[in-house]
Amino acid sequence: MIPPLANDTFLRALRREPVPHVPVWLMRQAGRYLPEYNVVRRKAGSFMGLATSPSLAAEVTLQPLARYPLDAAILFSDILTVPDAMGLGLTFAEGEGPRFARTVSSDADVARLAVPPMDALRYVFDACAEIKRGLHGRVPLIGFAGSPFTLACYMIEGRGGSDFATVRRMAAARPDLLARIVDVNARAVSAYLAGQVAAGVDAVMLFDTWGGLLPWEAYARFSLAPMRAILSTLPPALPTIAFTKGGAQWLDALAGCGASCIGLDWTADLAAARARVGDRVALQGNLDPLVLTTDDRTVETAVRATLAAAGPAPGYVFNLGHGIVPDTSPELVDVLVRTVHAASAR
């Protein structure tokens, strides 16, 4: 049996309860900057080989916890597992990012789109259960999904891109079509997160990587509203985090989306965000990930500045403002985590 959590500071911070130190975890804390990750990645043969193996996914999820006194684990997976389960054929070309074999752009494509059977994502739920056993109550496990709009970006373009022109054009010229895609995605993500919760995750996070590319009205309709719809289907007591890259300008609206916590990217003014949201939600963020490619002293100074900006109020989780970059120094991650704990200890 799995014992109760020995360290629940992360969950308490999401609930805006007092904590003995500021909890810290890092987006992409399991990944290419760790030599031990690359060993498993090579063994798996491909990124999807790794992501679809519950035992390998669990192994890499736990790797950063063995190195650093992090306050949470996050499921190792990818946001695109959901559209892959819809039959779009996901692959990761070496060094090129994700590609879908089929895109969704015509009326006929959209008409064919449906919530996939959750059995197609069983490997993710199995990984969650295996990670929970491996953690043995040390720290909470975070489940996650891509936001319906961010999934739509990849489904429509077939790959990542710097400006997602096709998606922005659809938002303006065929809002009915985009609305149908994000609606299917929202229902799929709701079912997907319910499966992760059933498998034992302690909190969930929605990653809205590309909502920040939209005009405000389109963001409210195609990105924020479907996130709100998903959050409303989750168990009320489940702590939740919503993150829109570039979303700080819409913080008031985000703070009302139903998430316990709003993740801020590295450009956001954390002190101003704290003043604006008051005690409505917890905040998470937002050190520039590039700081982890500099030196000890720069990391220490930047961590202390971030903690100072967050202020003394409860309801704060330390994190980067975006995912760890591959040329991050593993030693500097250690400096970061230890500085957060030492500088925030009550």
Residues contributing to the site for its own copies (CB under 8 A): 162, 165, 168-169, 172-173, 212-217, 219, 246, 248-251, 266-270, 272, 286, 288, 290-291, 293-295, 298, 302, 305, 321, 325
CB of 95 to its own copies, least distance (A): 15
> What is d(CA 286, CA 303) in angstroms, rounded to the nearest whole number?
10
**Which one, 76 or 250, has the nearer CB to its own copies?**
250
274 is catalytic: no
CB of 219 to its own copies, least distance (A): 7
78 is catalytic: yes
Q: Identify the burial level of 220 via C-beta atoms within 10 angstroms of its C-beta, where 0-12 means exposed, 13-18 middle and 19 or more buried.
A: middle
Catalytic residue (one of 154, 192, 219, 316) = 154
Catalytic residue (one of 41, 138, 228, 274) = 41
Q: Is 294 helix (H, G, I), strand (E, B) or coil?
A: coil
CB of 300 to its own copies, least distance (A): 12
Catalytic residue (one of 32, 168, 187, 276) = 32
**Which one, 26 or 199, has the nearer CB to its own copies?**
26
CB of 246 to its own copies, least distance (A): 7
Helices (H), the chain: 9-14, 35-44, 47-51, 54-67, 81-83, 107-112, 122-135, 148-157, 165-173, 175-198, 216-218, 225-233, 251-255, 270-277, 296-310, 330-344
32 is catalytic: yes
To 5 degrees, how large is the angle CA 243–CA 69–CA 318?
A: 30
**Which one, 217 or 279, has the nearer CB to its own copies?**
217
| CA torsion angle 167 172 177 180 (round to 10) | 80
Number of Cβ atoms within 10 Å of the Cβ of 140? 25
**Which one, 2 or 172, has the nearer CB to its own copies?**
172
CB of 305 to its own copies, least distance (A): 7
**Which one, 7 or 147, has the nearer CB to its own copies?**
147
For 40, phi then psi, to 5°, come to -70, -40
* Element holding 48 (H helix, E strand): helix 47-51
41 is catalytic: yes
Scored b (16 or more CB within 10 A) or e, 55-73 reads: ebbbbbbbbbbeebebbbb
- Letter for the amino acid at 254? L
| Closest CA relative to residue 234, chosen from 198, 261, 263 | 198
Catalytic residue (one of 78, 183, 269, 288) = 78
**Which one, 18 or 215, has the nearer CB to its own copies?**
215
CB of 106 to its own copies, least distance (A): 16
Catalytic residue (one of 8, 12, 16, 28) = 28
Residues involved in catalysis: 28, 32, 41, 78, 154
